[in-house]
Structure 1
Amino acid sequence: MELLQLHYFIAVARLEHMTEAARSLHVTQSSLSKTIQRLEDDLGVPLFDRTGRKLRLNEFGTRFLRRAERALFELEQGKLELSDLSSPDHGTLELGVTSASLLPVILRKFRNKRPNIHFHVQMLSTQEMVTLLERGEVDFCLSSPPIDKDDIGCQVVYIDPILVAVPKEHRLANRTSVSLAELKDEWFVGVKVGFGTRDLMDAVCRSVGITPNYVYEGDEPARLIYLVEAGIGIAFIPSTARNYRVDIKYLEIETHEVVREIALLWHKSRYISRVAQEFREVVLEYFEEISKQTI
Structure 2
Amino acid sequence: MELLQLQYFIAVARLEHMTEAAHSLHVTQSSLSKTIQRLEEDLGVPLFDRTGRKLRLNESGSIFLPRAEKALFELEQGRQELRDLSSLEPGTLKLAVTTASTLPNLLREFRKKLPAIHFHVQMLSMPEMITLLNRGEVDFCLASPPVRGEQIECRIVCMDPIFVAVPAGHRFAKRSSLSLIELKDEWFVGVKKGYGIRDTIDAVCQTAGFTPCYVYEGDEPARLIALVEAEVGLAFIPGTAKSPQDQILLIPVRDHDLVREIALLWHKDRYISQAGQVFREVVTEYFAPDSN
TM-score by length of 1: 0.96
Aligned to 2:189: 189
Aligned to 2:178: 178
Is 1:102 the equivalent of 2:102? yes
Is 1:84 the equivalent of 2:84? yes
Aligned to 2:8: 8
Whole-angstrom distance in 2 between the partners of 1:99 and 1:249:
21
RMSD of the TM alignment (CA)? 1.3
Whole-angstrom distance in 2 between the partners of 1:17 and 1:273:
34
Q: Does the Cα contact within 8 Å between 1:89 and 1:116 map onto a contact in 2? A: no
Deviation at 1:51, TM superposition (A): 2.8
Amino acid at match of 2:269: S
TM-score by length of 2: 0.97
Aligned to 2:150: 150
Amino acid at match of 2:237: I
Deviation at 1:171, TM superposition (A): 1.0
1:125-164 CA deviation, whole Å, 9 max, x = no partner?
1111101110111111111011111001000011111110
- Equivalenced residue count is 292
Deviation at 1:292, TM superposition (A): 3.8
Amino acid at match of 1:171: R
Q: Report SS of the residue matched to 1:49.
A: strand
Aligned to 2:257: 257
Whole-angstrom distance in 2 between the partners of 1:232 and 1:208:
23
Aligned to 1:224: 224
Deviation at 1:89, TM superposition (A): 7.8
Q: Report SS of the residue matched to 1:284.
A: helix
Kindly tell me: are residues 93 and 293 of structure 1, through their superposed partners in 2, closer, same or farther at Cα, counting changes over 3 Å? closer
Aligned to 1:159: 159
Is 1:215 the equivalent of 2:215? yes
Q: Does the Cα contact within 8 Å between 1:178 and 1:251 map onto a contact in 2? A: yes
Kindly tell me: are residues 97 and 160 of structure 1, through their superposed partners in 2, closer, same or farther at Cα, counting changes over 3 Å? same
Whole-angstrom distance in 2 between the partners of 1:117 and 1:137:
17
Aligned to 1:205: 205
Whole-angstrom distance in 2 between the partners of 1:28 and 1:211:
50
1:156-198 CA deviation, whole Å, 9 max, x = no partner?
0111111100111111011121111111111110111110000
Q: Report SS of the residue matched to 2:252.
A: strand
1:55-98 CA deviation, whole Å, 9 max, x = no partner?
11111101100000000000000010001000088221111111
Whole-angstrom distance in 2 between the partners of 1:139 and 1:250:
34
Question: Which moves more between the two structures, 154-163 or 44-53?
Answer: 44-53
Amino acid at match of 1:228: V
Kindly tell me: are residues 131 and 43 of structure 1, through their superposed partners in 2, closer, same or farther at Cα, counting changes over 3 Å? same
1:17-45 CA deviation, whole Å, 9 max, x = no partner?
11111111111222211111111111011
Deviation at 1:254, TM superposition (A): 1.6
Q: Report SS of the residue matched to 1:275.
A: helix
Deviation at 1:207, TM superposition (A): 1.4
Q: Does the Cα contact within 8 Å between 2:285 and 2:291 map onto a contact in 1? A: no
Moved over 6 A (4+): none
Q: Does the Cα contact within 8 Å between 1:89 and 1:117 map onto a contact in 2? A: no
Whole-angstrom distance in 1 between the partners of 2:127 and 2:252:
29
Whole-angstrom distance in 1 between the partners of 2:272 and 2:88:
12
1:205-257 CA deviation, whole Å, 9 max, x = no partner?
11122111111111111111011001111000011111221111101012100
Whole-angstrom distance in 2 between the partners of 1:227 and 1:212:
16
Aligned to 2:55: 55
Kindly tell me: are residues 5 and 89 of structure 1, through their superposed partners in 2, closer, same or farther at Cα, counting changes over 3 Å? closer
Q: Which runs of 5+ in 2 are unaligned?
A: none
Q: Report SS of the residue matched to 1:56.
A: strand
Whole-angstrom distance in 2 between the partners of 1:293 and 1:32:
53
Amino acid at match of 1:73: F
Aligned to 2:37: 37
Q: Report SS of the residue matched to 2:272.
A: coil
Amino acid at match of 2:75: L
